[in-house]
Amino acid sequence: MSSLATAVVLVSFVSGSAPGAEPIPAPDAAVAREADGDADLRARLDRAMELLERHEAELEKLKQAPPAAAVTPPKPAPAHEAWYDKLRLRGYTQVRYNAPGIVYNDKLTNEQGDRSMGGNGGFLIRRARLILFGDVHPRVSVYLQPDFASTISDQLGVAILRDWYADLFLDEKKEFRIRVGQSKVPFGFENMQSSQNRLPLDRNDALNSAARDERDLGAYFYWAPAHIRARFKQFVDDGLKGSGDYGVVAFGAYNGQGANRVELNKFPHLIGRVTWPFALGDQFLEVGGGGYFGQFTVTTGSLPDGTRVTSARPANTFTDARAHLHAVLYPKPFGFALEYNAGVGPQLGTDNQVSTKPLHGGYLTLMLKLDGVLGSVAMIPFARGALYDGGKKFFTNAPHYQVRELELGLEWQVVKALEVVLAYNISERTNDRTYQLESGHWTRLQVQFNY
């Protein structure tokens, strides 16, 4: 039944008559009152019908309108990332075995490098590193590295601090930064190169004698364009034996007595270094140099025969200054690394007195990177010749040290996580305890796992 028909029936019913029914006669007064009531009721019904029709029209419009788009609830705000969630952990371990070569000499030792050389040789955990690093702030990066395989006297497996520093970035592109804490001293190329990436099993004496453990407490400014920083990273990631990112320009100040050692004089060392990796076709040639100047305080004692050593300077403090040059052709497949440094520093003389004397030395490493051999990552045969003539300032009495050494080796990168190095060392070097020149050969094996 339509809305209009319903209204008619309601009106008829209310008025007391139905369609087709005979009207019921009534007295005049009652008829008047009924007429007034009917008029009021009809007016109300008319208004109701008008509202009903309006609502039906609105309903029809809503039916014909397109469906409203679904409302996507807002995404919840990302949870705040704590600083410790931004840190990562990596590291590496080197296990070595040293055995006498064709020419055996148990007095051929290397106190500055691998202390299992000499005597009976044997197995040694040379390095066991864990590195905690990351960006704790858009402008602050931290790098913390202990070593759990250091050697102190005859005690192996001693935990000691290597790196503990922060980089403070001065711009959004991170091209300018200041490094504060204990870190590598920006001197040379091989000193900057991680032992995880170096081909020869020990660093050369000539440049490594500039900074014991390659590290010291200080502050340095580094600058490198963003694309050069990416290039430095690529050299390491691609297994090209890069040194890492120590800037195109570096300068700063440090104590000068060596890592984990207190300053013994009031004259900090000042240092500067520049380097640039040039593109040569599909290879890169990095060329650079630098130097430092400072005062170094030597510890004096007695000679092996008991003779007392004297000093030419009060408080045993001497001028310590060097300059260096380096050139590195990254292997694709052939490459080389060449470094040389010269300067002055404390040195024990034939008169049993420590004084400032000249020093010099360097090395040349040749390498050939063969990718994909036997399904592995790479094989890299290498050869390094090294020499040094000068004082060893970090040892008691700063003894005069001479080194002539040749190392032939093969590094096999089985997978990214495993590397094996076999090397043969032909050496002539001053014994650190007797001050006598010794010569001999060593066969060396190293297994390195990266994590």
- Write the DSSP symbol of residue 213: G
**Confidence class of residue 21 from pLDDT cuts 50, 70 and 90?**
very low
Query: What is the predicted pLDDT for the residue at 45?
Result: 81
Dump the DSSP string for 229-257.
HHHHHHHHHTTS-------SEEEEEE-SS
Q: Residue holding tokens 């990266």?
A: 450
Give dist(CA 311, CA 346) in Å, integer: 10
Query: What is the predicted pLDDT for the residue at 8?
Result: 42
Query: What is the predicted pLDDT for the residue at 16?
Result: 44
**Confidence class of residue 29 from pLDDT cuts 50, 70 and 90?**
low
Per-residue pLDDT tens for 267-279?
999 999 999 999 9
Q: Which residues contact 8 (CB under 8 A, 6 or more apart)?
A: 19
Among 210, 250, 197, 193, which Cα is nearest to 361's? 210
Q: Tell me the three state secondary structure of residue 147.
A: strand
Compute φ and ψ for 321, nearest 5 degrees: -145, 140
Give dist(CA 125, CA 97) in Å, integer: 9
Find the helix or strand (DSSP H, E) in which 411 lies: strand 400-415
* pLDDT of 107 above 50: yes
* pLDDT of 13 above 50: no
- CA dihedral angle for residue 189, residue 432, residue 320, residue 204, rounded to 10 degrees: -10
CA atoms within 13 A on the CB side of 352: 10
Query: What is the predicted pLDDT for the residue at 20?
Result: 47
- CA dihedral angle for residue 195, residue 196, residue 201, residue 205, rounded to 10 degrees: -10
- Write the DSSP symbol of residue 116: T
Query: What is the predicted pLDDT for the residue at 378?
Result: 98
Query: What is the predicted pLDDT for the residue at 428?
Result: 97
- Write the DSSP symbol of residue 24: P
- Parse the chain into domains and list their residue ranges: 87-450
Per-residue pLDDT tens for 235-256?
999 999 999 999 999 999 999 9
**Please, what is the average pLDDT of the chain?**
90
Give dist(CA 73, CA 338) in Å, integer: 63
Question: pTM to 2 decimals?
Answer: 0.81
- Which amino acid type is present at position 224? A
Q: Tell me the three state secondary structure of residue 153.
A: coil
Is 2 or 329 the better-scoring residue by pLDDT? 329
Per-residue pLDDT tens for 360-385?
999 999 999 999 999 999 999 999 99
Among 410, 409, 240, which Cα is nearest to 332's? 240
CB 353 within 8 Å of CB 399: no
Q: Which residues contact 126 (CB under 8 A, 6 or more apart)?
A: 94, 95, 96, 114, 116, 149, 201, 446
Query: What is the predicted pLDDT for the residue at 384?
Result: 98
Query: What is the predicted pLDDT for the residue at 62?
Result: 75
Query: What is the predicted pLDDT for the residue at 48?
Result: 78
- Token pair for residue 337? 């690394």
For residue 66, the cross-strand partners are none
Per-residue pLDDT tens for 278-307?
999 999 999 999 999 999 999 999 999 999
Per-residue pLDDT tens for 313-323?
989 999 999 99
For residue 361, the cross-strand partners are 341, 388
Share of the chain above pLDDT 70, in %: 90
Point out the least confidently predicted range of 66-70, 100-104, 410-414.
Answer: 66-70
* pLDDT of 28 above 70: no
Per-residue pLDDT tens for 374-428?
999 999 999 999 999 999 999 999 999 999 999 999 999 999 999 999 999 999 9
Q: State how far the alpha carbon of 24 is from the alpha carbons of 18, 28, 30, in Å.
A: 11, 12, 12
Per-residue pLDDT tens for 123-173?
999 999 999 999 999 999 999 999 999 988 778 899 999 999 999 999 999
Give dist(CA 284, CA 56) in Å, integer: 82
Tell me what the mean pLDDT of segment 108-123 comes to. Answer: 86
CB 446 within 8 Å of CB 424: no
Give dist(CA 429, CA 438) in Å, integer: 6
Per-residue pLDDT tens for 172-182?
999 999 999 99
Among 219, 273, 280, 216, which Cα is nearest to 245's? 273
Query: What is the predicted pLDDT for the residue at 1?
Result: 45
**Confidence class of residue 2 from pLDDT cuts 50, 70 and 90?**
very low
CB 146 within 8 Å of CB 160: yes
What is the distance between the terminal CA atoms of the chain, rounded to a whole angstrom? 84
Give dist(CA 215, CA 297) in Å, integer: 17
Query: What is the predicted pLDDT for the residue at 419?
Result: 98
* pLDDT of 64 above 80: no
Give dist(CA 213, CA 41) in Å, integer: 108
Q: State how far the alpha carbon of 362 is from the alpha carbons of 246, 326, 335, 340, 343, in Å.
A: 21, 10, 17, 4, 12
Find the helix or strand (DSSP H, E) in which 66 lies: none
Find the helix or strand (DSSP H, E) in which 51 lies: helix 28-64
CATH class in words for 87-450? mainly beta
